[in-house]
C-alpha cells in the first residue's frame, strides 16, 4: 500500500502493480541474483547440459520475438534443428571433458583440453552444413 503512494494516482491499477513490481525488483535485485546463482550451482553435472540448452532456447525465442519474424512451419523446423545441433555440440563437449578427467587431468585442465578437442570435432561436423548454406548464395 505504501509503495502505491509513490506512484502517480492517474495510473491504472495494472500499471501500479507493474510499478510496485519494478520498485521491489530494483530494491532486492541482489537477493534475486543470489537465488539464481544458488540454483545454478545446485545443478548436478548432467543438468548443466539441459540448463545450457534451455538458456539457448529462451534466448533464441527472445530474439525471434524481438525481431518481428513470422514463424512458419519451415521456421519452426529450423528452430528445432538449431536446438538439435546445439544439443549435439553440448554432448560432444561434455564427453570430451569426461574423457580428459578420466585420463587424469585436473578439472580446469580437462575443461580446457576438452573444449579444444570438441571444437575441432564440432567444426568438422558442421562444415557440410556451412557449405550447403553457402552454395545457393553463390549461384
Q: Which whole-number Å values give the CA distances from 42 to 35, 66, 84, 90, in the listed order?
A: 11, 31, 25, 20
62 and 31 belong to one structural domain:
no
13 with 61, same domain?
no
| Pair (35, 48) in one structural domain | no
Q: Which domain holds residue 30?
A: 1-42
132 shares its domain with 97: yes
Whole-angstrom Cα distance, residue 103 to residue 111? 12
Same-domain check for residues 76 and 128: yes
Q: Which residue has the higher pLDDT, 127 or 52?
A: 127
% of the chain at pLDDT higher than 90: 0
42 backbone φψ class: left, alpha, beta (φ>0; ψ -120 to 50)? alpha
For range 10-14, the mean pLDDT: 78
In a shared domain, residues 7 and 56: no
Q: Is 53 in the same domain as 33? A: no
Query: Do residues 128 and 65 both lie within one domain?
Result: yes
**CA atoms of 19 and 56, how far apart (whole Å):** 30
Tens-digit pLDDT profile for residues 59-112: 888 888 888 777 788 888 888 877 777 777 777 888 888 888 888 888 888 888
Q: Do 26 and 68 fall within a single domain?
A: no
Amino acid at each position: 500500500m505504501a509503495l502505491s503512494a509513490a506512484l502517480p494516482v492517474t495510473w491504472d491499477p495494472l500499471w501500479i502493480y507493474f510499478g510496485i513490481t519494478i520498485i521491489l525488483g530494483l530494491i532486492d535485485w541482489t537477493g534475486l541474483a543470489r537465488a539464481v546463482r544458488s540454483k545454478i550451482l545446485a545443478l548436478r553435472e548432467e543438468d548443466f547440459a539441459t540448463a545450457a540448452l534451455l538458456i539457448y532456447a529462451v534466448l533464441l525465442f527472445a530474439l525471434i520475438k524481438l525481431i518481428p519474424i513470422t514463424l512458419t512451419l519451415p521456421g519452426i523446423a529450423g528452430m528445432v534443428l538449431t536446438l538439435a545441433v546445439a544439443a549435439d555440440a553440448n554432448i560432444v563437449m561434455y564427453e570430451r571433458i569426461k574423457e580428459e578427467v578420466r585420463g587424469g587431468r585436473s578439472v580446469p585442465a580437462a575443461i580446457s583440453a576438452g573444449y579444444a578437442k570438441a571444437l575441432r570435432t564440432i567444426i568438422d561436423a558442421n562444415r557440410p552444413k556451412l557449405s550447403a548454406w553457402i552454395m545457393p548464395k553463390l549461384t
